Amino acid sequence: MKIFFWNLKRKCLADLIQSALQQNDVDLAAFAEVNQTDYQKLIELFDGQYRPVETIDGNEKTKLLVKSSICSQHASAVIKNLTCTLMLDGVPVNTSIVHLPDKRNDPHGYRRERIIKELVIELNTTKGAYPGSFNMLLGDFNCNPFDPEMIIIDSLNSTFFKEVAQRLKVRDSYGLSYPVMYNPALEFLSESNSNQGSFYWGSGDCTYYWHSLDQIVVDWQLADCIIDCRYLRQIGDTKLIVNSKPCSKYSDHLPLLVTMEMGNCHGR
């Protein structure tokens, strides 16, 4: 199972996306900052191989294409972030495609935290009504994996360590239980394999230079399903990196490609 996400920075990149999806045999492709014309052209280019997942009112700011064989239901726009349930190799996964406020507009992460809480509530409500399903958030979180909004217990409650997630399963606080989620970003980030991050920002007195803004976070039961998680630096002959930064001709973000083996789902 191949999962793809790219913040397109409102660029018309349909041909390049087509190449990426075909070369990597992508099953699920999600996008942020998508120009509507570009999205429609992309659907047409695939000639029925992929179909869009859409909400009733069309109010979502994130977009999702899935292979025509993948079933989807319960599609809604939760604070404009597309949220639905997907059947991935027989495993029902409640999925939110996110694009959260950037740090220029939300430097302390308060808005991101509030939105994450709403998304998690929606996903958990669906999970409660759909026994045997699991949760996944994918997209541009506009923060790093170790920022507070990603790890606060009543926000995303994620950890970088799958053994910890699988041992704890839930964390309790003031009489409430919060499912533990797994964020694989740090397991796969490494300079040695040229997988440093998805976004470069070197300004300010305190910076990480490479930032891992584009991420996937899953319920602990899906932790073993993630077998690879990387940012694409090249699509075919097209290089997405220039002078050790994302090439602005295409986007200021690198695309995220995640490989999952759903047969590794805990308890199945």
pLDDT tens-digit series, residues 132-181: 999 999 999 999 999 999 999 999 999 999 999 999 999 999 999 999 99
| 22-68 tens-digit pLDDT | 999 999 999 999 987 788 888 899 999 999 999 988 889 999 999 99
Model confidence, pTM: 0.96
> Residue 263: which of 71, 138, 3, 89 has the closest Cα?
89
**Buried b or exposed e, range 188-218, using 16+ CB within 10 angstroms:** bbeeeeebbbbbbeeeeeeeeebbbbbbbbb
Question: Are the CB atoms for 183 and 113 separated by under 8 Å?
Answer: no
